[in-house]
Structures are given as C-alpha cells and as structure tokens.
Amino acid sequence: MNAKDIKAVSEMKAELTAPPFVPKSTADREATKLKVDMEILEETGEMADGVEYVYWTFGGSVPGSFIRTKVGDEVEFTLKNHPDNKLPHNIDLHAVNGPGGGAASSFVAPGHEITFSFKTLNPGLYVYHCATAPVGMHIANGMYGLILVEPEEGLAPVDREYYVMQGDFYTKGEFGEQGEQPFDMQKAIDEDADYVVFNGSVGALTGDGALQAKVGETIRLFVGNGGPNLVSSFHAIGEIFDRVHVEGGDLINENVQTTLIPAGGAAIVEFEVDVPGELVLVDHSIFRAFNKGALAMINVTGEEDKDVFAGTIQEGIYLPEGGTIQSMPSDDEDDAKEETAAVELSKAEKMELGKKVYGSTCFACHQADGQGIENAFPPLANADYLNDDVNRAIDIVLRGKSGEITVNGKTYNSVMTAQNLTDKEVAAVMTYIYNSWDNNGTEVTEEMVRKVRKK
C-alpha cells in the first residue's frame, strides 16, 4: 500500500526520550495520529570539566529528544519556545516531505508555540535541526536530533537500542580552556572545531554515562551527525558492525569496520557483542577522538570466550588524551605557552585545576589512580623517580623525555611528549600529582615552573 493511503486508526501522545535512550518500538501498533510536544530551551551546560557553554536545545538535551514514528503516521507537531529564551527558532525535519521540512511552518518566537502537521511517507532514520538564520550557528549550538520512521512491520527486535549523535563545536577559547565559552563564528566558518563530541559534551558516554551490554546481546545504535560541518568516520574499537543501514535508509551493508555519516545524516548500526570488556566508539578521524572528545564507551559484561579472543584487555587505554597539543621532546625547542601575569592560586585551587588538567592531558597514559600502564607508561603513584626531584619532573612536563628511566625498581623505555601548558596549569597539575596517591605532598608554584622553563 502506498504510504499516502495508510489511514491513522487512533491517536496517541509521542514518547520522547533524551539521549542515549530511545522510545519503544512501533511494531505492535498501527499508524496513528501522533502528537509530538517539544520545547526549545536555551541553557548553560558543561562542555567539559570546568568548561561551560550555552546550548540551544530541543527538549533540554544535545542531541534533542528522539522521536519514533512509523510509516503512515499523521504527526501533529507542537513546537514551544520557552519565554526565557532570547531567540526565535524553528525545526527542519529531514523526514518531512514539505517546504523546509517543516521549517516554513514552525517559526516561533520566545514565549510562543506553533503547531504544524505532516504524514510520514519514507521509512528511515533522519536528522532534524533548527533552520533559523544563521542556520549554521543554530545547529552549531546544539539544535539537532533524530527522528526514526519505522517500516509498517517495525524494525526487527534486538536486545538493546541506543541513541548517539556527533556534533562539532566552536568556542572562543581552545579545548579545555576554563569558564563559560562563547560560540566563535569565524572558527565555525573556517571549520576549525575545538570540540568534536558524542551527545553534546566530552565524556557524555564514558564513566557513569557509558552504554551497557552483555555478551551475546545484539545492540542497535541509532547514530546521527548534527555537524554542522564535519563528516564522521564512525567506528567501534573492538567490534565489527554486522549490519549497517547506510545513511539511515533501506540499503544494508554487512561486516563493516567504519561507516561514513555525513553532516546532516544518520546510520543504523547493529552488532552482536562477543566478549566482555570495553568497546570504544570513535570518530576515526582519530585526533577528533583522543584530542577533541569524539569518544564513547560500551561496557560489556559476561563470560569470556577464549575461542573468540584470548588476549588480555587493558581497561582505559583508549580514554581521552585531551586537547593539549603535544610535541616530541627536543633540547632546542620550547613550544610551551608563556604564562600571563596572574595571582598565584591557592593550594586548594591548584588541586581543583590540576585534577581537570590531569583528566584532560595525563589520564590516558597514567590512568585514573596514577598506576600507569604495565610495560608502557610508568606509574605516578608513590613513584620514587617523581618524588626524588621535583625540578626534573617539571622539566619533563615542559620539554618531554625519551629513553630509559627506572621507576620503583622497574625500567621503562618510552616517550613522554612535551606538554603545551601554561605555568599555572603545570603548577596545578604537578601539585595535584604530588598530593595524590601517597606522593610527597610538594606544592609546586608558578615561580618554580618559570625557573625551570628559563633554563
């Protein structure tokens, strides 16, 4: 039957969910008159530790609420612009056959609401976004989400479904620069993203926010790319996509390692998880993952299967390295930032800032508790090499170190890259390290860092 001829047999309010969750399947219902009620909110949120950003949102989250429909639904869409908002907005749903994808009928000022309707004709996974001028700016501030139009029979059942959406953000400050960061239009025009993230912020899908699964389960990810600029090379470290609905449509590709998702596009990826451990979702334009935030985790629990994978899993090795620009150690170059004059932080303030710097810069190699990675990166916890000479430790942070060192009786031969940190950041992170994990409690000052830097 032509989708235009499908009649809605009932009426219901749409279930809308915040990421990473999705509403229940439509397989057990017929086409209906579906009432969608969505509120636009402009609100401050956390882009990264200590970094705030004013997001413009559909439903109070980035990405916006997930909308699940089926072919033949008659959608009555009410868009509300909260009275505290500063700007007018609208919505362009790529699932709509009509002017502007609904944008022409949904322009709404703060303190007002508007209702428009459309019929879902084409099955697939579609992006929606604000299309109010300047369109790129509205999208860049987080105004995008996904709408699923299921086929009449619904999608095949799976064990778990999740909602993941990539976006690129452009701020006045560099990656990790503290405080509230305003949008930078010139960086956006130049496509010079400071942050490339899943679900609106660095670490949104790591730690307590990581996705969950069990061995043997099949996972379906509804993956979108809000852009506004960058194409995503979506990849799961440690798994292969069994099935990919290419660009969210009917074409299915199998046994896929990495799938391209264009800005303003989507894909449905499905895979069975075979062994326990941490799977890592990344944009495989890889510096975006480890230096700009495009990284998410799936924690898989269950029994090991040595026939599938007999190696040892090292948790955390793919956690973010942060946005600090790193360089190989050199005797002749000093690429670190010059510190501007400022009041010396208190020890408590250094500990707070140092923890954030450690989390964005040192965590991937030296791990959460400073234990390092066996046979690769030395420990910082209760480390004799660190505690014996604070100036040497500062110098390594500033200029890097290569060659053999012995820490707590064990030899390591790797490279520590020079860190492009300010004097304030070096003093803070070194103070944090020296006052953690049974180290000697040294408080490092900015003056100490300056003296080492000038040598």
**At residue 4, does pLDDT exceed 50?**
yes
- Per-residue pLDDT band for 309 (boundaries 50, 70, 90) equals confident
The SS3 assignment for 7 reads coil
Write the CATH number of the domain with boundaries 3-153: 2.60.40.420
For 308, list phi and psi in degrees, rounded to 5: -90, -45
**At residue 335, does pLDDT exceed 80?**
no
**At residue 358, does pLDDT exceed 90?**
no
Does 366 show up as a binding residue in the annotation? no
Provide the pLDDT for residue 325: 52
H-assigned helices in 254-375: 287-292, 347-357, 363-366
**At residue 122, does pLDDT exceed 60?**
yes
Provide the pLDDT for residue 421: 87
- Per-residue pLDDT band for 97 (boundaries 50, 70, 90) equals very high
Which residues are CB-neighbours of 182 under 8 A, at least 6 positions away?
Answer: 54, 171, 172
What residue segments make up the domains of the chain, in order of their start? 3-153, 161-301, 326-454
Whether residue 72 contacts residue 79, with contact meaning beta carbons closer than 8 Å, is answered with no
C-alpha 330/C-alpha 417 separation (Å) is: 9
**At residue 75, does pLDDT exceed 80?**
yes
State the pTM of this model.
0.75
Active-site residues, by number, are 89, 92, 94, 129-130, 138, 143, 235, 254, 258, 284
Question: Could you give the angle at the alpha carbon of 337 between the alpha carbons of 334 and 338, nearest 5°?
Answer: 100
Provide the pLDDT for residue 168: 99
**Greatest C-alpha distance within the chain:** 79
Pick the CATH number of 161-301 from 1.10.10.10, 3.40.50.620, 2.70.98.60, 2.60.40.420: 2.60.40.420
109 DSSP 8-state letter:
-
Does 143 show up as a binding residue in the annotation? yes
Does 47 show up as a binding residue in the annotation? no
C-alpha 381/C-alpha 369 separation (Å) is: 7
Lowest mean pLDDT among 13-22, 222-231, 322-331, 350-359: 322-331
Domain pair 3-153 / 326-454, same fold:
no
Instruction: Please give the average per-residue pLDDT across 272-281, as a whole number.
Output: 94
The C-alpha torsion from 270 through 272 and 278 to 281, rounded to 10°, is: -20
Fold of the 326-454 domain: Cytochrome Bc1 Complex; Chain D, domain 2 (1.10.760)
Does 284 show up as a binding residue in the annotation? yes
421-435 pLDDT per residue, tens: 889 999 999 999 999
214-236 pLDDT per residue, tens: 999 999 999 999 999 999 999 99
Does 245 show up as a binding residue in the annotation? no
**At residue 334, does pLDDT exceed 80?**
no
Lowest mean pLDDT among 186-190, 277-281, 337-341: 337-341
- Per-residue pLDDT band for 322 (boundaries 50, 70, 90) equals low
Does 89 show up as a binding residue in the annotation? yes
C-alpha 420/C-alpha 6 separation (Å) is: 61
C-alpha distances (whole Å) from 304 to each of 213, 214, 277, 313, 374 are 14, 11, 9, 11, 22
